[in-house]
Amino acid sequence: MRRVIIDTDTAGDDTQAILLSCLSDRVTVDAITVVAGNVPFDREVENAKYTLEIADSLDVPVYEGARQPLIKEFEHATYIHGEDGLGGDLFPETDIESATGFGPDEIVARCRAAPGEITLLCIGPLTNLALAYAREPDLPDLVDEVWVMGGNVNCEGNVTPAAEFNLWVDPDAAKRVFDAFEVTLVDWGVCLRDAVFGAAEFEMVSTLDTELASFFESVTEQARAFNSEESDDPGWTALPDSVTAALLAYPELREAVSTYHVAVDDREGLTRGYTSVDVNGVTDGDPNTHVVESVDSDAFQSLMYSLLQSRDPDSGIAE
């Protein structure tokens, strides 16, 4: 069973990645660390705790991490996730205490205590991981794996033409992480192709009539509205964080993975957060990033339906 720390800027799809990880028998969630990103920080913290409550996983500690990027200013993505990050209507207040300690320090402490045993699932900007690395230069040797949802491999970004949101928010942190760690990257492009729920998928979800299905419909409502093209179009949503969590836990979903040198542009301006992925090997950079290039989308859908219907994602994976 994989031991995982989830580093998240908890909004809609992050919640599904947390639920999937907590309810899978393939993964043990050791802790959650929260990072600045999707919505105001304190709202992200509450969203993480609320999601753990839904998962009956309140034994998982939530650590508050970086409240802002290393250097640059940024804007939230409430236009995608709603003001509360959960579709616009929930605004949970859990009264659950955050764990004592700073997120990056906790990443370091836990990896030092169990070298080679903990995988980091990073589904937000990479500020916490960059700060952890600054505290412990040996961290790349202490972690098992680092999974990152972010970047756009030779495709259009989702916050600027050049960049995906997570890496755009804190490109300075992302540059440091990709330079130092052997990362497995799940980028926006593969998510947009292989991890999208549209009208047919939401029609299926609407038949499930469960707490998790209703929660899923709620947290994706704002994103679907944003992605709808006509007034009578219910819209669609990509599930990048969910599919990253699924790919970590279920290797059978990985149809194609290639290894390239990846560099992140940390300069301000048009190319802030751009991921330079050297697919042709024309630079002298070491190929040390494993890029997921194809996902078994049917298996991913089946896994998500099982999660939402029976709280058992494992049952959606064929033996």
- Residue 134 has a pLDDT of 98
Q: Above 80 in pLDDT, residue 247? A: yes
Say what the pLDDT of residue 88 is.
87
Counting every residue written for the chain, the total comes to: 319
Question: Per-residue confidence at 135, pLDDT binned at 50, 70, 90?
Answer: very high
Exposure letters 85-117 (e unless 16+ CB within 10 A, then b): bbbbebebebebebeeebbbbbbbebbeeeeee
- Percent of the residues in the chain that have a pLDDT greater than 90, as a whole number: 95
Nearest to 133 by CA among 88, 207, 70, 227: 70
- Segment 152-188, tens digit of pLDDT: 999 999 999 999 999 999 999 999 999 999 999 999 9
pLDDT of 250-279, one tens digit each? 999 999 999 999 999 999 999 999 999 999
Q: Is the pLDDT of residue 221 over 70?
A: yes
The stretch 26-43 carries a mean pLDDT of: 97
Mean pLDDT of 123-130: 98
- Provide the pLDDT for residue 229: 76
Q: SS3 for 20?
A: helix
What's the confidence (pLDDT) of residue 228? 86
Distance separating alpha carbons of residues 246 and 304, to the nearest angstrom: 9
In this predicted structure, what is the pLDDT of residue 89?
Answer: 85
The pLDDT score that the predictor gives to residue 59 is 98
Cβ(69)–Cβ(37) below 8 Å: no
| Tens digits of residue pLDDT in 57-71 | 999 999 999 999 999
State pTM to two decimals. Answer: 0.97
pLDDT in the model for residue 233:
75
Q: What angle do CA 246, 248, 254 make, to 5 degrees?
A: 80
Domains belonging to the chain, first-starting first, are 2-316 (3.90.245.10)
Residue whose C-alpha is closest to residue 185's, from 111, 107, 250, 263:
263
pLDDT above 70 as % of the chain: 99
User: 181: which 2 tokens?
Assistant: 């760690």
Indicate the helix (H) or strand (E) that contains 109: helix 103-113
Among 81-85, 186-190, 227-231, 279-283, the range scoring the smallest mean pLDDT is 227-231
Q: Phi and psi dihedrals of 123, rounded to 5?
A: -115, 25
What average pLDDT does range 214-218 have in this prediction? Answer: 96
Using 50, 70 and 90 to split pLDDT, how confident is the model at 128?
A: very high
Average pLDDT in the 67-80 region? 96
Q: What is the pLDDT of the chain when averaged over all its residues?
A: 96
Whether pLDDT at 319 is above 70: no
Distance from chain centroid for Cα 298? 20
Nearest to 86 by CA among 40, 20, 123, 118: 40
